[in-house]
Amino acid sequence: MNKTAIIEKTKEHVQSILIHHDASHDWWHIERVWRMACYLAEKEQANLFVVELAALLHDIDDWKFNQGNAILKTKSWLVHLQIPQNMVNQVCHIVENVTFKGNLVQTHSSKSIEEAVVQDADRLDAIGAIGIARTFSYGGYKKRPLYDPAIAPAQHKTFEEYKKSESTTLNHFYEKLFLLKDKMNTNTAKKIAEERHAFMERFVSQFMCEWDFKEK
């Protein structure tokens, strides 16, 4: 199979897996991350094929929806496609490391440019107007309150703590979304993140104004 056919088959495979997912992690999230990853790959001169495969497969083993943190589905799909072993390892390594695991959790520091690009693309889709929309969609899926003045945002030291956290959707901005701008790997993504970050700040400040309504 040539590369174009592999990407097309992978796209169909991912679409069929994510068909019943809520809007925070549905096919359209993957499609946006895939497009952004291609854009970043070109700008940052990353291997496009590896980036595309990792972007397309990055959420089919998502811990938020699966039990555990395995990448079984990703690996078996790549093996099924008869991708060379070193590339299977490369894509699996990216997929395993792309997910945000809590603010204080140490992650490995030496990243390939392909990993950097896919991670940035996924993080860019978590911020800005779409990031806000996805966050409330996920909060609805988890039946979280929009906001609760009694619950303060937390800093999660371990991935276990982050997974278990029962917070509000508004706190998620402080626990994750506002931190992403400074965690972008590539300069291209850093630039895109700025406007998206500023928009979220405006949103949260308007939200709080309305919550604490006072006649002017």
In this chain, which of 122, 167, 168, 185 binds Ni ion, going by CB under 5 A?
122
140 or 147: CB nearest Ni ion: 140
- Residue 30 CB, shortest distance to Ni ion, in Å, is 7
Residue 61 binds Ni ion (CB under 5 A): no
**CA separation for the pair 46, 53 (Å, rounded):** 13
DSSP 160-183: HHHHH----HHHHHHHTGGGGGGG
59 binds Ni ion (CB under 5 A): yes
Minimum CB–partner distance for residue 126 and Ni ion (Å): 8
CB of 99 to Ni ion, least distance (A): 7
Nearer to Ni ion, 61 or 122 (CB): 122
Helix (H) or strand (E) holding 199: helix 187-211
Number of CB atoms found within 10 A of residue 143's CB: 6
Q: Among 110, 79, 99, 87, which residue's Cα sits nearest to residue 162? A: 99
Nearer to Ni ion by C-beta: 122 or 175? 122
Of the two residues 30 and 88, which places its CB atom closer to Ni ion in the complex?
Answer: 30
Cα–Cα dist 56/46, whole Å: 16
Binding site for Ni ion (CB under 5 A): 59, 122
